[in-house]
Amino acid sequence: MTPAERRDSRDSADPLAPHRARFVGSESPLVYLDGNSLGRPLRVTAQRLHAFVEGPWGERLIRGWDDAWMDLPLHVGDRIAAACLGAAPGQTTVGDSTTVLLYKALRATVGMRPDRTEIVAYADDFPTDRYVAASVADECGLALRWLEADPTGGVTPEQVAAVTSERTAVVLLSHVGYRSAWLADMAAITRVAHGAGALALWDLSHSVGSVPLALDACEVDLAVGCTYKYLNGGPGSPAFVYAATRHHEHLVQPITGWMGHADPFTMGPDWRPDPGIRRMISGTPPIVGMLAMQDMLDLLDDVGMAAVRAKSVALTEHAIEVADEVLAPLGVEVASPRDPERRGGHVTLQHPAMREVVAALWQRDVLPDYRDPGGLRLGLSPLSTSFAEVSRGLETARDLLADLTA
């Protein structure tokens, strides 16, 4: 077989290939390479949404809260924990956006280290993480210590150790870097934080549903993550927060609403937090937003994260191989780690003309993402992306780049 034939045979050899047909739009020639910004919907989700309007909402009405909705954030949290996080039940809940939950989680961690004066965060992390770190530092009178690291290779335990000290309250870090997909060593970095007496707060937005996690085994303190990326929850679906049981008693978050109260319906004079993870909830949870992700969790339960990760690695290896063959001759560089053990589920390809290339790709129904500087980002959602789709997208990029630079 030629290299091209070998590549073309990959979908027929892929045991997960049949799952792609479960996603809306999979029959169209559109090439979707942005599943890490917004996952495709599952076909069964249309039925779930319709049935919800007719039944639990339309028929049960206010009784729905007693039937299921009061506990739904905890129930779905436990499902995410079991399917993806490597976390025992009772430590995860769903609600708010990632940004808001990150704020609540960061304030809670800082509150657990009242004698400490610094927050450690990564200088090139996703904007929300940097902005929230800055505002919490400001609000709580703490200093920010920025971690500097190579944007492709990402943050190492040694770099974290170099800026972490007896002054550090918390180390905040993405598990998978949003630009290059570097994959941090969660166990080692959490150990470094703990060695200094600090807490570790992880942002799992680009790993949940793509890279298997072991939050309990790594002794992570708190974590947050997004559900509209690899969990296919739909635009703006609510995020989740994990807090290890050992911290619940001391976990005080800043938005003390009635729904995190130990007994919401006493409507008493003072806020008394629920003893468990429910204390991270503030107001009425977004029930409608929790529907679609349950279909993806069903599918992840069936397939298992080990198989999902194997496909994810195969897809990113494939993308790098095709890029090396068809795009490298035009000056395109792979700006993601080449070692799959150090890489999450996306691949970034760099060239000064990429902004124009990505705009032209969108015109042709090839949808990757663009991130400065000059980065074409391929988000390869393992269950909804085919190998042929990746090849087709990159070959189209080659044609456009060749025209642009001719």
Ligand X SMILES: *Cc1c(COP(=O)(O)O)cnc(C)c1O
Interacting residues with ligand X (CB under 6 A)? 97-99, 126, 128-129, 174, 178, 203, 205-206, 226, 239
- Rounded to a whole number of angstroms, the CA Rg of the chain reads 22
Distance (Å, whole) CA 134 – CA 305: 34
> Smallest gap, in angstroms, from Cβ of residue 351 to ligand X?
23
**Residue 229 among the catalytic residues:** yes
**Residue 377 among the catalytic residues:** yes
Contact 11, 387 (CB under 8 A): yes
Of 229 and 278, which has the nearer Cβ to ligand X? 229
Distance (Å, whole) CA 203 – CA 240: 10
Distance (Å, whole) CA 319 – CA 336: 11
Distance (Å, whole) CA 123 – CA 118: 15
Of 78 and 129, which has the nearer Cβ to ligand X? 129
Q: How far is CA 76 from CA 240, 243, 306, 317, in A?
A: 9, 15, 21, 32
For strand 31-32 and strand 366-367, is the pairing parallel, antiparallel, or unpaired? parallel
Distance (Å, whole) CA 33 – CA 54: 34
> Smallest gap, in angstroms, from Cβ of residue 39 to ligand X?
12
Q: How far is CA 148 from CA 29, 49, 65, 263, in A?
A: 41, 44, 47, 45
Of 174 and 336, which has the nearer Cβ to ligand X? 174
**Residue 203 among the catalytic residues:** yes
**Residue 311 among the catalytic residues:** no
Of 89 and 151, which has the nearer Cβ to ligand X? 151
> Smallest gap, in angstroms, from Cβ of residue 218 to ligand X?
18
Contact 102, 224 (CB under 8 A): yes
Structure tokens at 187: 């166990």
> Smallest gap, in angstroms, from Cβ of residue 224 to ligand X?
8
**Residue 216 among the catalytic residues:** no
Find how far residue 353's CA is from the centre of its chain.
28
Selected catalytic residue, list 23, 228, 230, 242: 228
> Smallest gap, in angstroms, from Cβ of residue 325 to ligand X?
29
Contact 149, 122 (CB under 8 A): yes
Look at the block and give the residue holding tokens 């991130």: 371
Distance (Å, whole) CA 4 – CA 374: 27
Selected catalytic residue, list 14, 96, 203, 221: 203
State the virtual CA torsion across 97, 99, 100, 101 in degrees, nearest 10. 80
Of 174 and 294, which has the nearer Cβ to ligand X? 174
Selected catalytic residue, list 126, 240, 242, 387: 126
Selected catalytic residue, list 107, 145, 179, 229: 229
> Smallest gap, in angstroms, from Cβ of residue 210 to ligand X?
12
Of 376 and 401, which has the nearer Cβ to ligand X? 376
Selected catalytic residue, list 10, 22, 107, 377: 377
Q: Catalytic positions, please?
A: 126, 203, 228-229, 377
